Amino acid sequence: MLNRELFLKVMITCIIVLLLPFYNVSYSQEAGLAPQNTDGFETGDWRNFRPHYIGNSDKFIRPNFTINDSNAQMGNYSLQWQADEQEHEWVKVSNAFYVELPAEVSIDFRVDANDSDWSIGLRLKETYERFAGVRFSPRGKDRFILSLEDLSSSASEVRANNGSIYRLTLQRFNDHDIEATLIDVDTGRLIAKLNGFSSVEPEALGIYVYTGAGSDAVIDFDNISVKSAPYRLTSGKWSRSPHFVVLPQLPDVDEDQGNWVGAQSTIKKDDEYLMWYRRRNNVERGLGFGFARSSDGINWDKYDNNPIFTYDDELYYSAEKIHVLHVDGLYRAWYAVNHPESWYTAYATSEDGIHWEQHGLVLDETYTKDVDVVYHEGLYYLYSIKNNDQIGIYTSNDGIDWGLEGSIPMGVHRHVAATYVERTGEFHLYATGGFAGVSQAVSNDGINFGPFRQVMDASPVGLDDWADAGVTYLSFLTDGHGKIKDDKQMPVYYQARNTWDNNFPSWLFHGSERVVLAGHYDGLFPGVTATVLPQGGYEYHSFPFEIPRAEGIDMFTSHKLDVRLDRWAPDSTVLYGGSLIAEESYRGHSGEVHTQVQWQLTKLLPGENIELLFNGGLVANQQADDSGSLVLTAIVNGNDGPVEFTIQKASH
């Protein structure tokens, strides 16, 4: 069984090793994050899945999923379902897997039951209502029905044994064909195969469970695995990381009590990643703040003695979002506290980020909460929810005494995130929740912002599928002043929130929030293979998390072309180097059609001569204009195979 935690750490170690000699390196393997399409439940938590009720009850029913650590199918843990006196119908759903077509998903299961009032299945889900699936249901002693949930509804009677381990597999091909198989894991014998049809475009997968009232069925699942088309990430588009969940819920509060984590603040200080986050249960709301640290930004270790601090319970009854900066040798935190009449913003300081001194309220205006703060050129800029449906903009010389600079009417309660981009000298302001995913506005002075534009949506199904607030509480990976270097590489953490109007008596009770990773990338990243698109932009073959973007270069092509930049050395004679693989050339109505490739270079010296070499031979040279820019153009015959390219300063 694959140990997921160990596998992640090995992957990240490999990535870091690749990046150390960054400016002059030949990559022996793909850099960046690739999909983690296996889950053996070996972490002992539920970071990638959440239960979604699909039964008929209008009363609150808790799901009976637990982790089986006493007689797991394989390894130390299995995911277990236990029937009880109530009727249950659930889908354990996840969009943390890459399921681009053609896709195949499989899971091992074992059922111990003395009755026939149960069913299990596997689904590829486009939405909650639209899916393709396969179900396995009893029909008598040692007799079962394997059936497709698709346009064909084909089915087959099979024989199986109680307590044995079987593998259920569902495949969806590009031509709308689907196939399901049932295999005996111990012997490898194919028991049944079904073929059908479906036009579902999967966004997530689901583990289906039904048990009738009074059933004694105990069902274990393990070794879920997904195979799919090669991973692709479109440049210039906000996208979820293929590793997705970075801060799971456990062990802050018991799962059945609701154990949200989120409303986090993240900074990178030296070579360490730091996160402060709000802890919350489903009764008392905010329970204070937790702290976690990481060496890679993906695998986080929670502080053993969380919460690091909480609110004064004689004055307030809840705490929400926290935002932390590191300015003048101190960690400075602004956090939301709740009084029965309204929300306010309090302030605390710390020398180590763990032990805090609280200083009381710094914004006591009615309903001013969930702030983000940027420190720029000696001035603090604070952005908050104001009067429930506005964004308030404040400035301060010391982070304590604030002056209102203005407000932006939003029409609905929306959360706020902000950062300063050093490359452009612009402030970015983001509004999330309330409706329609994430919206962005930009400012040159941090006070007067342009119009908001929507940049990211909630998922249609999965961990962040709440249409009103699935993607919320954004926190960028900033320095201690709340700044990022480049808006063409913007990793962001957010609180994933799922549909809660789902058999729950109150939104307080859905309690399955967790912190996930996404990002916005554009340009070329050393070690990351990219497909250059004729319409402009790229498709990355891995998620370029924490890989510095190669500056001063962009590529354009007449046909799709794969490129990997293996060298970026702006201070040496050889500036860039890498490899190209073009599509095969063909004969068109005007003759042979080859691929035109162009490199747009900037940040050169005016008049500087630059050469382009293919496989060591000169194919083009150009002189930079007065702005230090030029375009190199060459033709690639895809039938000749891969091309090694070099861009260098001309020798004199």
The pLDDT of 331-350, averaged and rounded, is 92
Res 506 pLDDT > 60:
no
Q: Judge if 195 and 115 occupy the same domain.
A: yes
Which DSSP symbol is given to 449? Answer: B
Strands (E), 328-482: 330-339, 342-350, 356-363, 368-376, 379-386, 390-396, 403-409, 415-421, 426-432, 438-443, 453-456, 471-476
Q: What pLDDT digit, counting tens, does each position of 414-445 carry?
A: 999 999 999 999 999 999 987 778 999 999 99
Q: Say how far apart CA 321 and CA 415 lie, in whole Å.
A: 10
> Which residues lie across from 221 on neighbouring strands?
79, 109
Q: Say how far apart CA 16 and CA 72 lie, in whole Å.
A: 34
Rounded to a whole number, what is the largest CA-CA distance in the chain? Answer: 87
Q: Judge if 538 and 473 occupy the same domain.
A: no
Count the Cβ atoms, other than its own, within 10 Å of residue 119.
21
Q: Judge if 70 and 116 occupy the same domain.
A: yes
Res 161 pLDDT > 90:
yes
In a domain, 5, yes or no: no
Share of the chain above pLDDT 90, in %: 71
In a domain, 238, yes or no: no
Residue 628 pLDDT: 97
The pLDDT of 109-118, averaged and rounded, is 96
Q: Whole-prediction pTM value?
A: 0.91
Count the Cβ atoms, other than its own, within 10 Å of residue 16.
14
Q: What pLDDT digit, counting tens, does each position of 458-483 carry?
A: 999 998 998 888 899 999 999 999 99
In a domain, 597, yes or no: yes
Residue 311 pLDDT: 82
Residue 283 pLDDT: 62
Res 171 pLDDT > 70:
yes
With a CB cutoff of 8 Å and minimum separation 6, the contacts of 171 are: 102, 103, 104, 105, 178, 179, 180
The pLDDT of 203-227, averaged and rounded, is 96
Q: Judge if 504 and 604 occupy the same domain.
A: no
How many domains is the chain partitioned into structurally? 3
137: its two tokens? 């249901």
Q: What pLDDT digit, counting tens, does each position of 403-422 carry?
A: 999 999 999 999 999 999 99
The pLDDT of 276-294, averaged and rounded, is 82
CATH code for the domain in which residue 264 is found: 2.115.10.20
Q: Judge if 59 and 197 occupy the same domain.
A: yes
Residue 352 pLDDT: 97
Confidence band for 379, pLDDT divided at 50, 70 and 90: very high
SS3 508: helix
Res 508 pLDDT > 60:
no
Q: Judge if 496 and 613 occupy the same domain.
A: no
Residue 312 pLDDT: 80
Q: Judge if 507 and 534 occupy the same domain.
A: no
Q: Judge if 111 and 197 occupy the same domain.
A: yes
Q: Say how far apart CA 155 and CA 150 lie, in whole Å.
A: 11
Res 559 pLDDT > 80:
yes
Res 23 pLDDT > 50:
no
The amino acid occupying position 525 is F
In a domain, 131, yes or no: yes
The pLDDT of 507-520, averaged and rounded, is 77
Element (H, E) at 597: strand 595-601
Whether residue 472 contacts residue 497, with contact meaning beta carbons closer than 8 Å, is answered with yes
In a domain, 248, yes or no: no
Mean pLDDT of the chain: 89
In a domain, 326, yes or no: yes
Give me the phi and psi of 572, to 5 degrees please.
Answer: -115, 175
Res 37 pLDDT > 90:
no
Whether residue 235 contacts residue 539, with contact meaning beta carbons closer than 8 Å, is answered with yes
Q: What pLDDT digit, counting tens, does each position of 537-558 carry?
A: 999 999 999 999 999 999 999 9
Res 228 pLDDT > 90:
yes
Sign for the pseudo-dihedral over CA of 36, 37, 41, 42: negative
Q: Judge if 357 and 501 occupy the same domain.
A: yes
Q: Say how far apart CA 611 and CA 617 lie, in whole Å.
A: 10
In a domain, 252, yes or no: no
> Which range among 23-32, 168-177, 348-357 shows the weakest confidence by mean pLDDT?
23-32
Confidence band for 258, pLDDT divided at 50, 70 and 90: very low
Query: Alpha carbon 348 to chain centroid distance?
Result: 30
Confidence band for 150, pLDDT divided at 50, 70 and 90: very high
Whether residue 391 contacts residue 404, with contact meaning beta carbons closer than 8 Å, is answered with no
Structural domain containing residue 357: 259-512
Residue 570 pLDDT: 94
Q: What pLDDT digit, counting tens, does each position of 599-628 carry?
A: 999 999 999 999 999 999 999 999 999 999
Q: Judge if 325 and 433 occupy the same domain.
A: yes
Residue 19 pLDDT: 32
Whether residue 108 contacts residue 72, with contact meaning beta carbons closer than 8 Å, is answered with no
Strands in 489-496's sheet, in edge-to-edge order, are 239-247, 514-521, 489-496, 471-476
Count the Cβ atoms, other than its own, within 10 Å of residue 296.
19
Q: Judge if 364 and 499 occupy the same domain.
A: yes
In a domain, 253, yes or no: no
Q: Judge if 154 and 301 occupy the same domain.
A: no
Burial 136-156 (b: 16+ CB within 10 A, else e): bbbeeeeebebbbbbeeeebe
Res 510 pLDDT > 60:
no
Residue 36 pLDDT: 80
